[in-house]
Amino acid sequence: MEAIQNITLKVWRQDGPADGGRFENYNVPEISDEASFLEMLDVLNERLINEGKEAIVFDHDCREGICGTCSLMINGQAHGPARMTATCQLHMRKFASNDTIVVEPWRASAFPILKDLMVDRSAFDRIIEVGGFITAPTGGAPDANLIPIPKPVADAAMDAAECIGCGACVAACPNGAANLFTSAKIAHLNMLPQGQAERFARTEAMVEKMDEHFGSCTNHGECEAACPKGISLDFIALMNQDYRKSKFKNRKSLSRT
């Protein structure tokens, strides 16, 4: 264990959605390189409370990189400098003494800032609510082994299903687009045999709900680079393919006039 010294944090503070917000500087004189980035913020917050100041508000929960609650733009990168690592799993050994670190919330018009570093990502839930599921009411499901699913298919669906819904893709995108998130959710279900019945209705509904809230994709690829789970850009191509198919060929099967 080694200590990292004299870190300067420039942290975005904003009192509420209507407030203009500003950067405030904090010095962290010493922190262990074993500490996680969020543990450093915990230590800073405890100090702020001891000084009678309000703690910095940030979203976080599992601290195991799976719940997708944590966020933060760290030096302009979503989830910071480590590849395929959510902020909660970023450790201070990635930084050096005397570093200045800029900490900001996700910035996207679909994710309004609630306070300091906390944003509202409920637009993601709205996308799922219109089609991100397989209609399978409880009870009456057939035996689980009735439909064999080839391992490569199950693995590919799992690759898409690993998305943790953190919103880094949106934050990293210059357009604030949610195509990586939406396409991962669509691909997970559209690739499985169970998901075929609703495949095209699902794709249309989710894409169109996405377009209500988020910007448009122009294939920058920043989303894939920022994704802590390494979700592939390929899923966006699959989504676009299904969307086009649906628009051109499946109007009748969707019983639309």
Partner 1 sequence: MSVVLDPKVPDGPLAEKWDNYKFEAKLVNPANKRKFKIIVVGTGLAGASAAATLAELGYTVDAFTFHDSPRRAHSIAAQGGINASKNYHGDGDSVHRLFYDTIKGGDFRSREANVHRLAQVSSNIIDQMVAQGVPFAREYGGLLDNRSFGGAQVSRTFYARGQTGQQLLLGAYQQLARQIGLGGVRLFNRSELVDVVTVDGRSAGIVVRDLITGEITSHAAHAVVLATGGYGNAFFLSTNAMNCNVTAAWRAHRKGAYFANPCYTQIHPTCIPQSDDTQSKLTLMSESLRNDGRVWVPSKIDDERPAAQIPENERDYYLERLYPSFGNLAPRDISSRAAKRAVDSGRGVGPLKNGVNLDFQSAIDRLGFDTVWERYSNLFEMYERITGEDPTKTPMRIYPASHYTMGGLWVDYELMTTVPGLYCAGEANFSDHGANRLGASALMQGLSDGYFVLPYTIGNYLAPMLNKPTPGTDHPEFKAAELAAKARYHGYVSIGGTKSPDHFHRELGHIIWDYCGMERTAEGLEKALAELPALYEEFKTDLRVTGTDEGVNQTLEKAGRVDDFFQLGMLMCRDALEREESCGGHFRVEYQDAEGEALRDDENFSHVAAWEWTGDPMTSIRNKEELTFDNVHLAVRSYK
Total chain residues near partner 1 (CB under 8 A): 82
Tell me the window of 185-193, 213-221, 238-246, 247-255 that interacts with partner 1 (CB under 8 A): 185-193
Subset of residues 9 to 38 that bind partner 1, contact rule: CB under 8 A = 15-16, 31-32, 34-36, 38
Q: By CB under 8 A, tell whether 96 contacts partner 1.
A: no
Judged by CB under 8 A, which stretch of 97-105, 159-167, 168-176, 235-243 contacts partner 1? 159-167
Residue number, 198 or 220, with CB nearest to partner 1: 198
Q: In what order do the strands lie in the sheet with 22-32?
A: 22-32, 3-13, 100-104, 73-74, 77-78
**Are the C-beta atoms of 214 and 123 separated by less than 8 Å?**
yes
**Scanning residues 188 to 247, which ones bind partner 1 (CB under 8 A)?**
188-189, 192, 194-195
Q: Which of 161, 175, 201, 247 binds partner 1 (CB under 8 A)?
A: 161
Cβ(103)–Cβ(9) under 8 Å? yes
| CA–CA distance, 170 with 213 (Å, rounded to integer) | 11
**Smallest separation (angstroms) from partner 1 to the CB of 116:** 8
Q: Find the shortest distance in angstroms from Cβ 220 to partner 1.
A: 26
Please, which of residues 99-138 interact with partner 1 by CB under 8 A?
Answer: 114-115, 118, 120-122, 124-125, 128-130, 132-138
CB 159 within 8 A of CB 91: no
Which of 7, 11, 77, 91 is the binder for partner 1 (CB under 8 A)? 91
Token pair belonging to 238: 């699959």
52 near partner 1, rule: CB under 8 A: yes
Rounded to whole angstroms, how far apart are CA atoms 77 and 102?
Answer: 10
Task: Kindly give, in sequence order, each residue whose CB lies less than 8 Å from that of residue 110, ignoring residues fewer than 6 positions away.
Answer: 123, 170, 176, 178, 213, 214, 215
